[in-house]
């Protein structure tokens, strides 16, 4: 029963060629085998999955309740925003609701009563998942579109941001940029960030409500005006650096910088007609699964690819455990129409030689009859690239197939005996040296191209008799003392040197002593 159904799927795939299934069962001479294809999830409205945050926190109207007017009829100020009354409240979630009963619902800000202080608001939309936009992003403004705004995006869940498109009624005044339209872009500069005046000029609040980020027009540069030649777009995505990333994001942010003014300058006597109101944000996209998943589902609070091809992770960006014979690769749209799956392969499939993803090649060594990985990368070594190279140690928090599995020992060259370290990264230190990398000196030692033992210091090896310790290497003694720590009196006696037992030993020494003491007297 199952097989006919799967064979039917195969037929569908061949006709569509649109990367929507990941595998199908093929029959060849009474045998059934799986065939694998590059695949991606269907594009859907991502509105239901987005988390909305508005800033500053008190920008939403209604607390305290506030009256507002309209731009078309500034004397009609009967409308009220009141956060404590359901019918009069305008909370952020009204930007993503489905408006099933036909009533337009919208988020609304406070009015510009603090003019000339600017009226600024940020709306951050987060999915906690890499998405690839497939259709125009549309933001619907009630009561007029902003005079100035910026659309930004993040690729790393909000850690860093970049502009996506600038919008202003006068681009050069607002941003110092020339006004452009997507029609001005060509294949060579399709990923250029532009400023457009198309959606900011005043045309009446009822006539045009939508501010657009044009995805279809950009696709059309490659796929033709009706997007019939998507293969050409996909081929470009593979070869043109940055093209795919341009349509990818995890978060979007709207920075609203100046509200609609009604086609004239700000009228200070009626500031209650200036505010922002958004009734809908439409983002059509598909989960980025690196062409390794045909489906994406909402699990554990965020979207996740249902990975195939023995890959794993939220974006199928890793090989699953036990399938790391080769390094992970994304699937490819090429060759068209069905692409290549670039599936992860089971460990053992390369002549029973697992290299933990650090090598793509194995070699058979005849005379000892073993298969071994060749040119292990990521500072690994060994038959299966399972050890760290000399001078590196195993990263305890990384799996064996992690690129970060080996950490450099980084032993201090002057302080350590050699470049190796133990499993926790401790180097072997020379005498007098300490610290994980042998970069510090033990007490009684001082760093001087390595640790050298102190001749004198302020604790144990004090210079005596008023001597001073210079850089821990030398006591500078008062003239009448000598010795390493100035502990000896110099010969100074009248006839014989008291402190010099050696004087009695030879006549020569006595003579020397006499000469010395007379010299000292002479100089005194
Ligand atoms: C909006 O976000 C930008 C970038 O993080 C920040 O500089 C700005 O202060 C924010 N504006 C408001 C009104 O919170
Ligand atoms: C985001 O997704 C990751 C991966 O699925 C998950 O571990 C994390 O808890 C999610 N974070 C939030 C804030 O939902
Ligand atoms: C993009 O390139 C075309 C020519 O290929 C040029 O006419 C156009 O001005 C460029 N657009 C931008 C925004 O630089
Ligand atoms: C993935 O692994 C399973 C075994 O767990 C195997 O049956 C399947 O064919 C593999 N798929 C690919 C694409 O290699
Ligand atoms: C150890 O591995 C973890 C997991 O990959 C990585 O996040 C971390 O940066 C690695 N540590 C070092 C010092 O490289
Ligand atoms: C590594 O060396 C340090 C310092 O000698 C020691 O404390 C640690 O226990 C050693 N670790 C292992 C795993 O041997
Ligand atoms: Ca709505």
d(CA 460, CA 448): 20
Q: Please report the atom of ligand 1 found closest to the CA of residue 122.
A: 1
| pLDDT confidence of residue 2 | 47
| 387-399 pLDDT, tens digit each | 999 999 999 999 8
Query: Does the beta carbon of 446 sit less than 6 angstroms from any atom of ligand 2?
Result: no
Query: Does the beta carbon of 343 sit less than 6 angstroms from any atom of ligand 4?
Result: yes
Expressed in angstroms and rounded, the spacing between residue 142 Cα and the centre of ligand 7 is 10
Q: How far is CA 268 from CA 115, 432, 446, in A?
A: 8, 77, 73
d(CA 283, CA 242): 21
Q: Please report the atom of ligand 4 found closest to the CA of residue 343.
A: 13
Q: Is 356 helix (H, G, I), strand (E, B) or coil?
A: coil
Give the residue, by CA position, lying nearest to ligand 1 atom 8.
122
Expressed in angstroms and rounded, the spacing between residue 189 Cα and the centre of ligand 3 is 6
Expressed in angstroms and rounded, the spacing between residue 252 Cα and the centre of ligand 7 is 18
If one residue of 422, 428, 437 were mutated to test the ligand 6 pocket, choosing by the most ligand atoms within 8 A of its CB, it would be: 422
Query: Does the beta carbon of 104 sit less than 6 angstroms from any atom of ligand 5?
Result: no
Helix axis angle for 230-239 and 216-223, nearest 10°, is: 90
DSSP class of residue 48?
Answer: G
Give the residue, by CA position, lying nearest to ligand 1 atom 10.
122
The ligand minimizing its distance to the Cα of 429 is: 6
Query: Does the beta carbon of 181 sit less than 6 angstroms from any atom of ligand 3?
Result: no
Under 8 Å between Cβ of 76 and 49:
no
Q: Please report the atom of ligand 6 found closest to the CA of residue 423.
A: 13
All residues at 6 or more sequence positions from 515 whose CB lies less than 8 Å from its CB, including other chains: none
Under 8 Å between Cβ of 44 and 298:
no
Expressed in angstroms and rounded, the spacing between residue 211 Cα and the centre of ligand 7 is 15
d(CA 108, CA 279): 9
Give the residue, by CA position, lying nearest to ligand 6 atom 13.
423
Per-residue tokens: 103: 């009533």
Strands 162-168 and 195-196: parallel
| pLDDT confidence of residue 458 | 84
Query: Does the beta carbon of 408 sit less than 6 angstroms from any atom of ligand 5?
Result: no
Give the residue, by CA position, lying nearest to ligand 6 atom 2.
426
Give the residue, by CA position, lying nearest to ligand 2 atom 4.
314
Query: What does the angle CA 229 – CA 235 – CA 240 come to, to the nearest 5 degrees?
Result: 125
Cβ atoms < 10 Å from Cβ of 157: 14
Strands 51-55 and 44-45: unpaired
Which regions of the chain are under pLDDT 50? 1-15, 350-351, 494-515, 520, 522, 524
Residue that is written with structure tokens 């609040």 in the block = 205
Cis ω on the peptide bond leading into residue 64 (within 30° of 0)? yes
| 217-272 pLDDT, tens digit each | 999 999 999 999 999 999 999 999 899 999 999 999 999 999 999 988 999 999 99
Expressed in angstroms and rounded, the spacing between residue 435 Cα and the centre of ligand 6 is 11
Q: Is 177 helix (H, G, I), strand (E, B) or coil?
A: coil
Q: How far is CA 193 from CA 92, 181, 190, 213, in A?
A: 28, 11, 8, 11
Expressed in angstroms and rounded, the spacing between residue 315 Cα and the centre of ligand 2 is 12
Query: Does the beta carbon of 51 sit less than 6 angstroms from any atom of ligand 2?
Result: no
Q: Please report the atom of ligand 4 found closest to the CA of residue 23.
A: 13
Q: Please report the atom of ligand 6 found closest to the CA of residue 436.
A: 4
Residue that is written with structure tokens 């030879």 in the block = 506
CA dihedral 293, 299, 301, 305 (to 10 degrees): -10
Query: Does the beta carbon of 128 sit less than 6 angstroms from any atom of ligand 2?
Result: yes
Query: What does the angle CA 333 – CA 354 – CA 344 come to, to the nearest 5 degrees?
Result: 20
| pLDDT confidence of residue 349 | 52
Give the residue, by CA position, lying nearest to ligand 3 atom 11.
185
Give the residue, by CA position, lying nearest to ligand 5 atom 13.
407
Query: Does the beta carbon of 184 sit less than 6 angstroms from any atom of ligand 3?
Result: yes
Exposure b/e, 48-74, CB count within 10 A at least 16 = b: ebbebebeeeebbbbeeebebbbbeee
The ligand minimizing its distance to the Cα of 181 is: 3
């Amino acid at each position: 029963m199952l097989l006919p159904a799967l064979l039917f799927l195969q037929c569908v795939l061949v006709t569509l060629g649109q990367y929507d299934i990941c595998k199908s069962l093929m029959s060849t001479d009474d045998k059934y085998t799986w065939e694998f294809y590059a695949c991606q999830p269907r594009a859907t409205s991502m509105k239901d999955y987005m988390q909305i945050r508005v800033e500053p926190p008190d920008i939403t109207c209604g607390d305290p309740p506030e009256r507002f007017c309209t731009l078309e009829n500034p004397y009609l100020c009967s409308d009220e925003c009141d956060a404590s009354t359901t019918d009069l409240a305008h909370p952020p979630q009204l930007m993503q609701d489905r408006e099933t009963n036909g009533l337009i619902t919208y988020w609304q800000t406070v009015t510009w009563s603090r003019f000339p202080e600017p009226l600024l608001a940020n709306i951050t939309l987060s999915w906690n998942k890499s998405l690839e936009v497939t259709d125009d992003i549309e933001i619907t403004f009630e009561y007029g579109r902003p005079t100035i705004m910026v659309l930004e995006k993040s690729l790393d869940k909000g850690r860093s941001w970049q502009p996506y498109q600038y919008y202003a009624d006068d681009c050069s005044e607002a941003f110092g940029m020339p006004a452009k339209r997507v029609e001005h872009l060509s294949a060579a500069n399709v990923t250029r960030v532009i400023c457009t005046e198309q959606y900011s000029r005043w045309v009446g609040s009822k006539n045009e409500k939508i501010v657009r980020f044009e995805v279809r027009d950009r696709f059309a540069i490659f796929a033709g005006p009706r997007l019939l030649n998507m293969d050409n777009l996909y081929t470009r995505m593979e070869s043109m650096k940055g093209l795919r990333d341009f349509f990818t994001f995890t978060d979007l942010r709207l920075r609203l910088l100046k509200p609609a003014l009604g086609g004239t300058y700000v009228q200070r006597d009626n500031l209650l007609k200036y505010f922002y109101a958004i009734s809908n944000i439409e983002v059509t996209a598909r989960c980025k699964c690196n062409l390794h998943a045909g489906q994406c589902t909402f699990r554990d609070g965020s979207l996740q690819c249902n990975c195939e091809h023995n890959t794993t992770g939220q974006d199928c960006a890793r090989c699953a455990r036990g399938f790391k014979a080769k390094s992970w690769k994304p699937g490819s749209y090429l060759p068209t129409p069905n692409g290549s799956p670039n599936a992860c392969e089971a460990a053992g499939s390369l002549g029973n030689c697992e290299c933990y993803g650090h090598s793509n090649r194995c070699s058979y060594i005849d005379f000892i009859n073993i298969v071994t990985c060749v040119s292990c990368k990521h500072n690994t070594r060994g038959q299966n690239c399972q050890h760290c190279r000399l001078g590196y140690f195993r990263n305890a928090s990384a799996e064996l197939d992690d690129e970060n599995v080996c950490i450099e020992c980084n032993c201090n060259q002057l302080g350590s005996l050699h470049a190796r370290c133990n499993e926790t990264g401790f180097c072997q230190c020379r005498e007098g040296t300490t610290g994980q990398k042998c970069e510090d000196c033990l007490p009684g030692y001082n760093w001087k191209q390595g640790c050298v033992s102190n001749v004198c210091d302020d604790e144990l090896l004090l210079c005596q008799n008023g001597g001073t310790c210079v850089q821990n290497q030398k006591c500078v003694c008062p003239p009448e003392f000598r010795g390493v720590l100035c502990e000896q009196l110099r010969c100074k006696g009248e006839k014989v040197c008291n402190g010099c037992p050696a004087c009695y030993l030879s006549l020569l020494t006595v003579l020397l002593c006499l000469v010395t003491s007379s010299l000292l007297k002479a100089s005194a």
